[in-house]
Amino acid sequence: MNWFIYKDDIFTPVNIKASTIEEAIKAGLTIARDVLGSVDRYCLYEGGNEVVIEYWRGREVAVKLIHADDPARALMRYYDAERLGAVTCMELGD
């Protein structure tokens, strides 16, 4: 499976080396801070072999880190899980 950054409706492959969710969150946080400037919170979805981590600055600007064979399908599953309340969000003191 591959890692992708999703921003402005574009999936961009990225080289992430993470064997745990915590490592993925940390690696994605570095990328998200480069893209967004700062990060207030992140939201996590794990489903099967897919992982989606959404990083937020404020309420309107976000970037997602996606681990999946088909990132578009994983993104749709993330949105479904979000509607069902199955996405966990954490505030950061950034």
Residue 93, CA atoms < 13 Å, CB-side half-sphere: 0
Per-residue pLDDT tens digits for 67-78: 999 999 999 999
Instruction: Look at the block and give the residue holding tokens 């990132």.
Output: 71
Q: Is residue 74 a contact partner of residue 2, using CB atoms and an 8 Å limit?
A: no
pLDDT at residue number 48 = 85
pLDDT at residue number 25 = 93
State the 10-residue block means of pLDDT for the chain, 94 residues long. 92 92 93 92 93 92 93 96 94 78
pLDDT at residue number 67 = 96
Long-range contacts of 9-18 (CB under 8 A, 24+ apart): 11/66, 11/71, 11/72, 14/65, 16/65, 16/67
